[in-house]
Amino acid sequence: MQQYIDKAVEQFRTLITEQLARQNRMEAGEQAKDFANLPHLTIGICGGDGIGPIITHAGEDVLRFLLADEVAAGRVEFREIDGLTIERRTEVGKAIPDDTLAALKECDVILKGPTTTPHGGNLESANVAMRRELDLYANVRPTCVPELGIDWVFYRENSEGEYVLGSRGVEIPDKLAMDFKVTTDAGTRRIARAAFEYAKNNGKDNVAIVTKANIMKKTDGNFSRICHEVAADYPDITAEDWYIDIMTANLVNEARRSQFQVFVLPNLYGDIITDEAAQIQGGVGTAGSANIGDRYAMFEAIHGSAPRMIEMGRGDYANPASVLKACAMLLRHIGKAAEAEKLEKALAICNEKMNMTGRPGGNTCAEFAQAIMTEVEAM
Ligand code: IPM
Ligand code: MG
């Protein structure tokens, strides 16, 4: 037994040293890129697996259409990034092959299709790896259902918490296992800042800080404390503490839920509650997601790669609505709010008008994208 303990203690020393170095790098800080005012902006298109390439290319078509003037003037460039397929990732045994990662790092923003994560084995999720490699620390997930009075934006911490050491826990076989959750001060401060800045710039006056600080006293305790420190810079915004358990109930409480506006929360709670929120909106297929960092930003649908649709030859009938929502978020991030608004309006119309059954008889992905462009043209 002693040898296991010694090994675990040694590993713990390594982990603390590494995580402290990461915190110090973050604290030293990086100047955030002004994505809205770059003289030249490269948009990487990364198809992924299954229906990913089909819906992502529909997204690219719509973006090219909306940004035609910028492309013509040489201010915006599209770049195809292949190599993020499950075949390639399995072949090289890496969540993101080196050449693909290098190509991603040459872009400013990325539109990414869903990627398959195998059950078991050692292959890390491409999503989690990309968030880490590009330091995409803010996962921004809106949920909007106007008829129910719901207009929420979740700021999920995307780079640490339960995820950063998720595959580096310790175990004493047949006896016990321990995983580690890491909350750094700099990591919390930057996600809190992002949430409060969003609130301030969008006329919101309430931010819910969602933790389980009554139980996770160190990590969530610090998360809450630091969010309140940041909140002090925003006197017009009320910062409220909530526990994650009651918040999951509040989201389905019709009497309460429309009072919430902006949420800031640690990684795993954010992962879970944003699926609940997406379901209230109509399912994970209706949600888009932004992964924002200081140097890069990545936009994606939050549903999976639907390999069965491909196996059954129905890939062309995949619904691109979720990736198009992500495209609208991308447009906003690069300072194209008017184009984003047009796309969102066209989406609302086409979601009603088009018949996306996922099989022959319904509309295809390409027809949906075409209908979006026709609607935009008519505006
Ligand atoms: C998400 C997903 C990912 C996560 C998976 C695919 C690793 O559930 O983006 O919410 O857990 O973050
Ligand atoms: Mg999730």
Per-residue pLDDT of the chain (379 residues; tens, 9 = 90+): 899 999 999 999 999 999 999 999 999 987 889 999 999 999 999 999 999 999 999 999 999 999 999 999 999 999 999 889 999 999 999 999 999 999 999 999 999 999 998 777 778 889 989 999 999 999 999 999 999 999 999 999 999 999 999 889 999 999 999 999 999 999 999 999 999 999 999 999 999 999 999 999 999 999 999 999 999 999 999 999 999 999 999 999 999 999 999 999 999 999 999 999 999 998 887 888 999 999 999 999 888 899 999 999 999 999 999 999 999 999 999 999 999 999 999 999 999 999 999 999 999 999 999 999 999 999 9
Residue 61 Cβ contacting ligand 1 at under 6 Å: no
Residue 197 Cβ contacting ligand 1 at under 6 Å: no
The pLDDT score that the predictor gives to residue 113 is 95
DSSP state of 33: P
The pLDDT score that the predictor gives to residue 32 is 87
- Site to probe by mutation for ligand 1, drawn from 271, 292, 298 as the one with most ligand atoms within 8 Å of Cβ, is 271
Residue 128 Cβ contacting ligand 1 at under 6 Å: yes
Q: Where are the beta strands (DSSP E) in 81-128?
A: 109-112
Alpha-carbon gap, residue 277 to 142, rounded angstroms: 9
Residue 124 Cβ contacting ligand 1 at under 6 Å: no
Residue 130 Cβ contacting ligand 1 at under 6 Å: no
Strand order of the sheet with strand 109-112? 76-80, 41-46, 109-112, 297-301, 288-292, 138-145, 150-157, 262-265, 206-211, 238-243
Residue 262 Cβ contacting ligand 1 at under 6 Å: no
Q: Whose CA is nearest to atom 4 of ligand 1?
A: 271
| Cα-Cα-Cα-Cα dihedral sign, residues 32, 34, 35, 38 | negative
Alpha-carbon gap, residue 205 to 71, rounded angstroms: 38
Q: Ligand 1 centroid to 271 CA: how many Å?
A: 6
Q: Whose CA is nearest to atom 12 of ligand 1?
A: 271
Say if residues 223 and 239 touch (Cβ distance below 8 Å): no
Residue 82 Cβ contacting ligand 1 at under 6 Å: no
Q: Ligand 2 centroid to 275 CA: how many Å?
A: 6
The pLDDT score that the predictor gives to residue 302 is 81
Alpha-carbon gap, residue 22 to 201, rounded angstroms: 29
Near ion ligand 2, which residues have CB within 5 Å? 271
Cβ burial, residue 15 (10 Å; 0-12/13-18/19+) = middle
Q: Whose CA is nearest to atom 9 of ligand 1?
A: 302
Could you give the C-alpha distances from 104 to 82, 95, 130, 133, in angstroms and in order?
Answer: 10, 13, 9, 10
For residue 158, the ligand 1 atom closest to its alpha carbon is: 12
DSSP state of 354: S
Could you give the C-alpha distances from 243 to 23, 142, 209, 237, in angstroms and in order?
Answer: 26, 20, 8, 19
DSSP 252-310: T-TTTGGG--EEEE-HHHHHHHHHHHHHHHT-GGG-EEEEE-SS-EEEEESS---HHHH
Say if residues 26 and 157 touch (Cβ distance below 8 Å): no
The pLDDT score that the predictor gives to residue 284 is 81
The pLDDT score that the predictor gives to residue 124 is 84
pTM of the model: 0.94
**Token reading at 309:** 């649709």
Alpha-carbon gap, residue 323 to 215, rounded angstroms: 37
Residues, the chain, total?
379
Q: Whose CA is nearest to atom 8 of ligand 1?
A: 271
DSSP state of 47: -
The pLDDT score that the predictor gives to residue 63 is 98
The pLDDT score that the predictor gives to residue 259 is 97
Alpha-carbon gap, residue 329 to 153, rounded angstroms: 12
Residue 244 Cβ contacting ligand 1 at under 6 Å: no
